[in-house]
Amino acid sequence: MARAAGPERRLLAIYTGGTIGMRSERGVLVPGKGLAAVLRTLPMFHDEGHAQACGLPEDTLVLPPASPTCPDQRVMYTVLECQPLFDSSDMTITEWVQIAQTIERHYGQYHGFVVIHGTDTMAFAASVLSFMLENLQKTVILTGAQVPIHALWNDGRENLLGALLLAGQYVIPEVCLFFQNQLFRGNRVTKVDTRRFAAFCSPNLPPLATVGADVTINWELVRKVRGQGRLVVHSSMERDVGLLRLYPGIPATLVRVFLQPPLKGVVMETFGSGNGPTKPDLLQELRVAAERGLVIVNCTHCLQGAVTSDYGAGTALAGAGTISGSDMTSEAALAKLSYVLGLPGLSLDGRKELLARDLRGEMTLPAVDELRPSLRGSTLGRGVAQLLSLSQEAEDVRDALAPSLACAAAHAGDLEALQALAELGSDLSLEDFGGQTPLHSAARGGQAGVVTMLLQRGLDVNARDKDGLSPLLLAVRGRHQGVIGLLRAAGACLSPQELEDSGTELCRLASRADCEGLRAWWQAGADLRQPGYDGRSALHVAEAAGNLEVVALLQSLQGGVGDQALGPYLGLHSSRDLPLSGSAAWCLT
Ligand SMILES: NC(=O)C[C@H](N)C(=O)O
């Protein structure tokens, strides 16, 4: 981890609105367009002479040299202005998904990203983005202002300039928030002041960096990039989550109403170190909801400190089925709940385990051994749990073992172990010693849930192992119809060689009256008329054997070739095409 190398750093600044660019209309502040044009007129934000000398494109701004000794090291940036712009009070997961997808779309083109956002919900935005962006290897910094940048006395200029300089000069692979000379981990902050320039604090984690006469980065706090995994954007965040703040004497009936479906998860803000009223009727409401499958995370409403089990009034809540949120902010807990409940295919216990784990540096944890009790139930689980507990220095061992463990977990259909490996930073597209990816293993094992998860993560659907076998062929051999359908819908197809070789295999299946096998080949896109080694087709073989059931099957299937399997699975092509909610009206120009 060090200063970014190279003379020129390119950043994308995504302007979503907020006070920083606001203008006064009829006495109130409303979002203002044209931030890039304003920045172009401010010498601290744009060196026009350098831009002209280099022939920079119209939309590219360039900062003056940060250090007089390195005049060639320049931070260049492009401002993407959202339409419409928002007071951040109107931002929702929909807009944050769009920000994450914008980062994903431009990930290869830029060295880092700055998100210009209103301060009112910036802590929520930073928390949500930190969970949506998995395997982040570049700096993402949210910033904004308490006073518009056009005002004479404002904090917007310093905040934005600081964010651009930090994102341009350092690789801090996290979602951060920069405000008043401090760079915080985004999912650790909360807004604490409506007016002061020091609007945010990070009560349970010191700043990642502070800017004064010098820039001081606390590298020991900055999260390390693990493995070479590509960026994964989790867009399927659960929206039916809520926040309930307990207060003395809160009626059980009110809690009952709040916890009703469609709510799937709730962050409950409790007193002190995670305590709440011990009234039986209130505990009963919590218990009933938890038994129904509602996930309840216990976070303290204190600014600093963690949920503990020091008091009976706290353990009573745990006994009613709530999960400790440790020292998470409510913003981080709500975002994490939305992320974990939105992950496809996990069991309720698996989700609870993920919630108890530190996924993005959002919480301070007890010792690792206490975290994943259920993983210790199987040999595979023990292996994953041991990997999780390896120290930083043992990363090489972890990276070497992870692909084989991922394949084993995929074959066994262990989504929780796979998710744990992914959260650890393992690249799930890496091959094991036989050249198989977890997708091969899941296909061979007929694990439709795992196949769905891996396809969503963009694994190569037509990858070949060392023997040239594809996941589709392995699924066909195992006659796993659900998996064949998923793979076909994601674009898997048999190779010309496999199609040619299928003739002999089809004849063999016909001679054994293996209807299931024939159906699997048909579903994978094979032409059932393909002749075998002696020129005869499967139908000839079945007729010669007098097997009327096979003859009838082949005749009925033989009509169409190609898209047989797609019917129920149409629409799932890759992570990009998964159903996302989002307003089409909000776009980045
Ligand atoms: N300072 C700000 O940015 C507050 C503004 N209401 C917003 O969150 O958009």
Q: Measured between alpha carbons, how far is 401 from 569 in angstroms, rounded to an integer? A: 34
Please tell me the distance between residue 113's alpha carbon and the centre of ligand 1 in angstroms.
Answer: 20
Ligand 1 atom with least separation from CA of 121: 8
What are the pocket residues of ligand 1 if the criterion is a CB atom closer than 6 Å to any ligand atom?
A: 17-19, 87-89, 118-120, 144, 146
Q: Measured between alpha carbons, how far is 395 from 471 in angstroms, rounded to an integer? A: 29
Tell me the catalytic residues: 119
Residue 89 has pLDDT above 70, yes or no: yes
Closest by CA to 160, choosing from 138, 187, 178, is 178
Ligand 1 atom with least separation from CA of 199: 1
pLDDT band at 369 (very low <50, low <70, confident <90, very high): very low
Q: What is the mean pLDDT of the chain?
A: 89
Distances from the Cα of 354 to the Cα of 224, 240, 406, 434, angstroms? 20, 18, 17, 30
pLDDT at position 340, please? 97
Q: Measured between alpha carbons, how far is 171 from 424 in angstroms, rounded to an integer? A: 19
Average pLDDT (488-512) is 91
Answer yes or no: are the C-beta atoms of 423 and 358 closer than 8 Å.
no
pLDDT band at 253 (very low <50, low <70, confident <90, very high): very high
Average pLDDT (453-464) is 88
Strands annotated E in 39-109: 60-62, 74-86
Closest by CA to 9, choosing from 84, 112, 100, is 112
pLDDT tens sequence across 110-159: 999 999 999 999 999 999 999 999 999 999 999 999 999 999 999 999 99
pLDDT band at 380 (very low <50, low <70, confident <90, very high): low
Please tell me the distance between residue 296's alpha carbon and the centre of ligand 1 in angstroms.
Answer: 30
From atom 3 of ligand 1, which residue's Cα is the shortest distance away?
118
- Mutate which of 15, 19, 25, 30 for ligand 1 pocket (most atoms within 8 A of beta carbon): 19
Please tell me the distance between residue 319's alpha carbon and the centre of ligand 1 in angstroms.
Answer: 40
Region of 468 on the Ramachandran plot (φ > 0 left; ψ -120 to 50 alpha; else beta): left
Q: How are beta strands 139-143 and 112-116 bridged, if at all? A: parallel
**Looking at 22-26, 121-125, 485-489, which range is the least confident one?**
485-489
Closest by CA to 354, choosing from 388, 382, 386, 379, is 388
pLDDT band at 2 (very low <50, low <70, confident <90, very high): low
Answer yes or no: are the C-beta atoms of 475 and 524 closer than 8 Å.
yes
Ligand 1 atom with least separation from CA of 31: 9
pLDDT at position 575, please? 31
pLDDT tens sequence across 419-454: 888 877 778 888 888 888 999 999 999 999 999 889
Average pLDDT (70-81) is 91
Please tell me the distance between residue 577's alpha carbon and the centre of ligand 1 in angstroms.
Answer: 33
pLDDT tens sequence across 202-240: 999 999 999 999 999 999 999 988 766 789 999 999 999
**Higher pLDDT residue, 30 or 7?**
30
Q: Measured between alpha carbons, how far is 413 from 451 in angstroms, rounded to an integer? A: 9
424: tokens are 């650890």
Q: What are phi and psi of 157, to 5 degrees?
A: -65, -50
Ligand 1 atom with least separation from CA of 147: 1
Residue 7 has pLDDT above 50, yes or no: yes
Distances from the Cα of 534 to the Cα of 397, 501, 507, angstroms? 51, 12, 10
Ligand 1 atom with least separation from CA of 145: 1
Please tell me the distance between residue 292's alpha carbon and the centre of ligand 1 in angstroms.
Answer: 38
From atom 7 of ligand 1, which residue's Cα is the shortest distance away?
118
- Mutate which of 82, 91, 95, 120 for ligand 1 pocket (most atoms within 8 A of beta carbon): 120
Please tell me the distance between residue 52's alpha carbon and the centre of ligand 1 in angstroms.
Answer: 35
Average pLDDT (343-363) is 93
Residue listed under structure tokens 């440790």: 326
3-state secondary structure of 525: coil
- The angle formed by the CA atoms of residues 319, 292 and 417, to the nearest 5 degrees, is 80
pLDDT at position 126, please? 98
pLDDT band at 458 (very low <50, low <70, confident <90, very high): confident
